[in-house]
Amino acid sequence: MKEDESIEKGNDFEKYVVNLFDDKYFSIVQWSTDITRKHDRFVESDAVPDFIVRYIPKDEIFCVECKFRSGLFEGKLQWSDPQQLRRYKDFVRERRLPFFVVIGCGLKPGSPERLFCIPLGEAKYPALFPSVFEKFERNAGKPFFWKNGVLK
């Protein structure tokens, strides 16, 4: 897959995910743009999650990282690389915010066939076996719900 096509798929999936947050209940505090996509240099701001979201009724803030994959690789869902995972864990340790990885699978990022919402603490490795990620599957078209510090 060409890099431009990969970037476009990532952008389409981010738009899909953000639309699952009802704006009556959620506001987007920050939506990061991956500058590294445009340059060869690492940019520190790219180490932050895709979205920082506020649950308006309780003024609670949490993070969301979006990943779209067309399928499994060697029987696992490859969602990150070791350096990226370490940066996310560092971010959580420094900011002390709940952090969720939303992974879409299928052929179209704007309409994924399967959707998973995994707490970062459960996504311990860059590649996850189905026994791990399938516990966090959710209806792909259903709006997100926030309760007691958990995004569902």
pLDDT tens for 90-147 read: 999 999 999 999 999 999 999 999 999 999 999 999 999 999 999 999 999 999 999 9
Q: Is the pLDDT of residue 5 over 90?
A: no
Burial class (CB in 10 A: 0-12, 13-18, 19+), 131: exposed
Question: Bridge-partner residues for 105, per DSSP?
Answer: 69, 114
Query: Per the structure block, which two tokens stand in for 114?
Result: 């399967």
Question: The domain at 3-31+47-151 falls in which architecture?
Answer: 3-Layer(aba) Sandwich (3.40)
Q: Tell me, what's the pLDDT at 43?
A: 61
Tokens at 41, concatenated: 């240099």
Q: pTM surpassing 0.85?
A: yes
Domain layout of the chain by residue ranges: 3-31+47-151
In order, the DSSP letters of 29-88 are: EEE---GGGTSSS--GGGGS-SEEEEEGGGTEEEEEEEEEESS-BTTBEE---HHHHHHH
